[in-house]
């Protein structure tokens, strides 16, 4: 039982994962951190328990033998329950790392969960849909030349529509052209339209990437594939001579871009600045390259810090700066910033239809938080959060509209 899982875990245990397991004192500070545990009361959702489960399996050796000190390590978990608990512990986690903020040792449960997911996948207990999308992102690079013509056609059509609706006949959406900024969107025109307007207003030299920022292999812990998928973007940026790679409002992709790419690509990306598009637009505003109508929106609005942009990548102030530039009634969630509750839809769950009920339940603390502010608009900067928050609004009758920070700026541009 779980032999492949354990083999994979043994191979993939890195230095921090080893001492995380060894030093966790099970103090229970993380109990209050997890939104899954807050709504379910299921011990498998306690961050320290997730770690205990994997540790216990490793010590038992997977063959049921307990060894010399088995009686002493016994945690009282029935082993038939263990597989289902393991599945819950590793898949019903958004990897938001709120528990790491609560932990007195800053232990990173999400790191273990990420690795454990890959190992569960080897055992045939993975999230198939998410893994498949991840594979598609990897293989997309091999057929990109065949896709290009179709993609450019679609973009031209979109370009025409924006020109007409916005009344700016010289607006362009360059694709595969040498440029200073390579903008990498997420799937859907909503990620392209506002930026096309902002780049036009800022007179930026930019090009739209033919790839998407999203990296589903990362969600299932397959770091090799995650690297391959991201490498297409590195190659594109180098081919176009880009000095800046700007990622769309997308949480996990922004985190990998800012925190992992140094390790993944080393010298290959030397000299290429990597930013979230939120940071880029904030810099335009600061430098006076774009102007917006101050107080353009008097709707009460709040900002949801996506875990991956906030505590995992350190982008706290730029989105608030964008919102304050155009809003008259901005209300903070409580708690916010690095202590913000996760929306409950991260970690790839959005892409897995089976997980819908799980994430609706996990989003309850978020829904209550939003309700308390009385805001009508919820602004956020992560595609995953946007989908989840819209679903939560419907489920819990919040009646809020979900917007991106760059959407606000695009709608209030003075051209």
Burial of 115 (0-12, 13-18, 19+ CB in 10 A): buried
Only one of the segments 188-196, 237-245, 255-263, 368-376 lies at the binding site for other proteins (rule: CB under 8 A); that segment is: 255-263
Name the minimum Å distance from CB 146 to other proteins.
33
For residue 72, state whether it binds other proteins (rule: CB under 8 A).
Answer: yes
For residue 155, state whether it binds other proteins (rule: CB under 8 A).
Answer: no
For residue 314, state whether it binds other proteins (rule: CB under 8 A).
Answer: yes
The two tokens of residue 241 are 């001579």
Report yes or no: 207 and 239 within 8 Å, Cβ to Cβ.
Answer: no
Nearest to 342 by CA among 96, 153, 138, 162: 96
User: Judged by CB, which is closer to other proteins: 114, or 393?
Assistant: 114
For residue 273, state whether it binds other proteins (rule: CB under 8 A).
Answer: no
| Count of positions on this chain that bind other proteins (CB under 8 A) | 56
Considering only 108, 159, 236, 383, the residue that binds other proteins (CB under 8 A) is 108
Calculate Rg over the CA atoms of the chain. 22
What's the CA gap between 44 and 102, in Å, rounded?
Answer: 18
For residue 229, state whether it binds other proteins (rule: CB under 8 A).
Answer: no
What's the CA gap between 130 and 163, in Å, rounded?
Answer: 36
Considering only 117, 311, 366, 386, the residue that binds other proteins (CB under 8 A) is 311
For residue 29, state whether it binds other proteins (rule: CB under 8 A).
Answer: yes
For residue 58, state whether it binds other proteins (rule: CB under 8 A).
Answer: no
Nearest to 312 by CA among 99, 130, 119, 105: 99
For residue 28, state whether it binds other proteins (rule: CB under 8 A).
Answer: yes
Distance of CA 131 to the CA centre of its chain: 16
For residue 224, state whether it binds other proteins (rule: CB under 8 A).
Answer: no
Considering only 8, 207, 228, 312, the residue that binds other proteins (CB under 8 A) is 312
- Spatial neighbors of 76 by CB under 8 A, at least 6 apart, are none
For residue 234, state whether it binds other proteins (rule: CB under 8 A).
Answer: no
Considering only 58, 152, 158, 260, the residue that binds other proteins (CB under 8 A) is 260
Report yes or no: 324 and 330 within 8 Å, Cβ to Cβ.
Answer: yes
User: Judged by CB, which is closer to other proteins: 200, or 216?
Assistant: 216
For residue 159, state whether it binds other proteins (rule: CB under 8 A).
Answer: no
For residue 118, state whether it binds other proteins (rule: CB under 8 A).
Answer: no
How far is the first Cα of the chain from the last one, in angstroms, to the nearest whole number?
64
For residue 13, state whether it binds other proteins (rule: CB under 8 A).
Answer: yes
For residue 84, state whether it binds other proteins (rule: CB under 8 A).
Answer: no
Name the minimum Å distance from CB 176 to other proteins.
29
For residue 333, state whether it binds other proteins (rule: CB under 8 A).
Answer: no
Name the minimum Å distance from CB 261 to other proteins.
9
Name the minimum Å distance from CB 73 to other proteins.
7
Residue 348 backbone zone (phi > 0: left; psi -120 to 50: alpha; other: beta):
left
Considering only 27, 187, 299, 414, the residue that binds other proteins (CB under 8 A) is 27
Report yes or no: 116 and 219 within 8 Å, Cβ to Cβ.
Answer: no
User: Judged by CB, which is closer to other proteins: 16, or 295?
Assistant: 16
For residue 338, state whether it binds other proteins (rule: CB under 8 A).
Answer: yes
Only one of the segments 107-115, 175-183, 353-361, 401-409 lies at the binding site for other proteins (rule: CB under 8 A); that segment is: 107-115
For residue 150, state whether it binds other proteins (rule: CB under 8 A).
Answer: no
Only one of the segments 40-48, 135-143, 176-184, 232-240 lies at the binding site for other proteins (rule: CB under 8 A); that segment is: 40-48
For residue 37, state whether it binds other proteins (rule: CB under 8 A).
Answer: yes
Report yes or no: 108 and 16 within 8 Å, Cβ to Cβ.
Answer: yes
The two tokens of residue 233 are 């973007």
The two tokens of residue 136 are 């598609």
SS3 169: coil
Report yes or no: 55 and 62 within 8 Å, Cβ to Cβ.
Answer: no
Strand partners, 184: 247
For residue 33, state whether it binds other proteins (rule: CB under 8 A).
Answer: yes
Burial of 31 (0-12, 13-18, 19+ CB in 10 A): middle
Residue 271 backbone zone (phi > 0: left; psi -120 to 50: alpha; other: beta):
left
Helix/strand/coil percentages in the chain, nearest 5: 60, 10, 35
For residue 262, state whether it binds other proteins (rule: CB under 8 A).
Answer: yes
CB atoms inside a 10 Å sphere around CB 19:
12
Binding site for other proteins (CB under 8 A): 13-20, 22-29, 31-33, 37, 43, 46, 48-49, 52, 71-75, 97, 100-108, 111, 223, 259-260, 262-264, 310-314, 316, 337-339
């Amino acid at each position: 039982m779980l032999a492949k899982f354990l083999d994979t875990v043994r191979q993939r245990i890195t230095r921090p994962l080893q001492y995380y397991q060894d030093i966790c004192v099970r103090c229970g500070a993380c109990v209050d951190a997890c939104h899954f545990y807050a709504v379910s009361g299921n011990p498998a959702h306690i961050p320290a328990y997730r770690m205990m489960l994997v540790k216990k399996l490793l010590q038992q050796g997977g063959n049921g033998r307990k060894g010399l000190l088995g009686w002493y390590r016994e945690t009282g978990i029935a082993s038939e329950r263990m597989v289902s608990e393991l599945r819950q512990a590793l898949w019903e986690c958004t990897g938001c790392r709120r528990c790491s903020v609560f932990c007195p040792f800053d232990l990173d449960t999400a790191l273990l969960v990420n690795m454990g997911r890959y190992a569960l996948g080897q055992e045939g207990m993975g999230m198939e849909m998410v893994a498949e999308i991840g594979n598609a992102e990897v293989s997309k690079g091999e057929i990109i030349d065949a896709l290009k013509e179709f993609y450019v056609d679609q973009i031209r059509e979109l370009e025409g529509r924006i020109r007409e609706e916005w009344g700016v006949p010289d607006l362009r959406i360059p694709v595969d052209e040498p440029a200073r900024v390579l903008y990498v969107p997420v799937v859907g025109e909503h990620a392209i339209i506002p930026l096309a307007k902002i780049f036009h207003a800022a007179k930026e030299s930019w090009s739209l990437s033919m790839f998407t920022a999203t990296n589903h292999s990362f969600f299932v812990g397959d770091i090799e594939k995650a690297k391959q998928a991201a490498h297409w973007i590195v190659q594109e940026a180098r081919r176009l001579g880009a000095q800046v790679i700007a990622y769309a409002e997308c949480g996990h992709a922004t985190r990998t871009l800012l925190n992992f790419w140094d390790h993944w690509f080393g010298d290959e990306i030397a000299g290429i600045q990597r930013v979230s598009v939120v940071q880029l637009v904030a810099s335009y505003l600061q430098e006076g390259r774009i102007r917006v109508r101050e107080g353009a929106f008097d709707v009460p609005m709040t900002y949801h810090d996506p875990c991956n942009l906030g505590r995992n990548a350190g982008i706290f102030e730029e989105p608030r700066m964008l919102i304050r530039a155009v809003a008259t009634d901005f209300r903070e969630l409580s708690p916010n910033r690095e202590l913000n509750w996760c929306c409950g839809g991260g970690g790839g769950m959005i892409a897995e239809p089976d997980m819908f009920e799980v994430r609706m339940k996990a989003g309850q603390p978020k829904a209550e938080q939003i309700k308390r502010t009385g805001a009508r608009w919820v602004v956020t900067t992560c595609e995953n959060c946007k989908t989840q928050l819209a679903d939560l609004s419907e489920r819990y009758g919040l009646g809020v509209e979900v917007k991106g920070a760059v959407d606000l700026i695009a709608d209030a541009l003075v051209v």
